[in-house]
Homo-oligomer: A and B are copies of this chain.
Amino acid sequence: MTQNVDRETVVSRLLAADDILILCHKNPDGDTIGSGTALCLALQQLGKNAAVLCSDPIPAMYDYMPITVFDGSFRPAFVVAVDVAGIQLFGERNNIQEYAEHVNLCIDHHGSNSGYAYETLVDAGAAASAELLTTLIPEMGAKITPEIASCLYTGVATDTGCFRFSNTTAETHKAAAALIEAGADVERLNERLFESRSHARVIAERMALESLEFYYDDRCALICLTWDQIQAAGVAGAELEDLTSLPRSIEGVEVGLTLRQQKDGSFKISVRTGHDTNACNIARRLGGGGHPRAAGCEISGNPDNAKHAILEEVKKELDRADAEKAQ
């Protein structure tokens, strides 16, 4: 069991430590990398030896961050994890497991944090770990330099979809204001983080839009991708996952469906709904499950059968919602 600690304790632990190793989560995002780099720079500014370790390579889009990657040149005396909600999220590479089992301190914003560290500070109200560090770093007596500000802005902006997601609070905007005043290069960062789509993403969107169909007076939009199409487009993982939000994002669409054929021929179906219908109701009747607005199931059969089966359940749920409204 971890000890939950307050901000003052965290500050005193960090000020007392040296030869500090900072751990990020695998498949690193802007928040874990931005927070890790910012904390590392702040500790170095205070005269300490510190470096960052991640199981996976740092994505090229974050190469503007002046990150000190741990190269084994010192023996870590204090291990801090940032933005890592569970021990399984450290990954396997770069010998990270050697340190992951003895984390002295975890700084995080995930309410689901499993408490794997000796001591833990979780601010579940913070939209990003970087939001938490925006006030914590000055409390450590370190200055938010323009470099630190750009790292923290990256974390805050990426975890909130540029202040669009529902985790964005007044505190998030106050953090952004403080970081811009401290010199974050917000114009260049926004251009880099949000104005650019990867080649793979564009190819995936083209494939998705080509297959887009509308049903039930355009209240249902459906994307259906066969295994052959996915292979021919050469897209995978994140690009395909991102597509699942596309059908529901179209004006007037209450139910968005994404059907992706697996190698074995079966279809993985993602169901997203608006405020009127329940995605879980739809998925459950086909043996799946999930949340009220995002759920999923699997169906075997050819594309037409799969479409037919899921559309029938969508129709029932739309009818149920209409009946409820009419009452």
Contacts and interface: CB of A to CB of B under 8 A. Distances in A.
Contacts of A187: 166
Interface in A158-172: 162-166, 168-171
A196 interface: yes
B206 A209 contact: yes
Contacts of A132: none
A19 to B, nearest CB: 36
A144 interface: no
A75 interface: no
A251 B173 contact: no
Given A197-B251, A249-B197, A170 B166 contact: no
Interface in A249-301: 249-252
A216 interface: no
Contacts of A196: 249-251
A24 interface: no
A170 B162 contact: no
Given A199-B251, A252-B199, A164 B190 contact: yes
A37 B57 CA distance: 50
> Which 4 pairs across A and B sit closest by C-beta, in order of nearness?
A206-B209, A173-B177, A170-B180, A170-B177
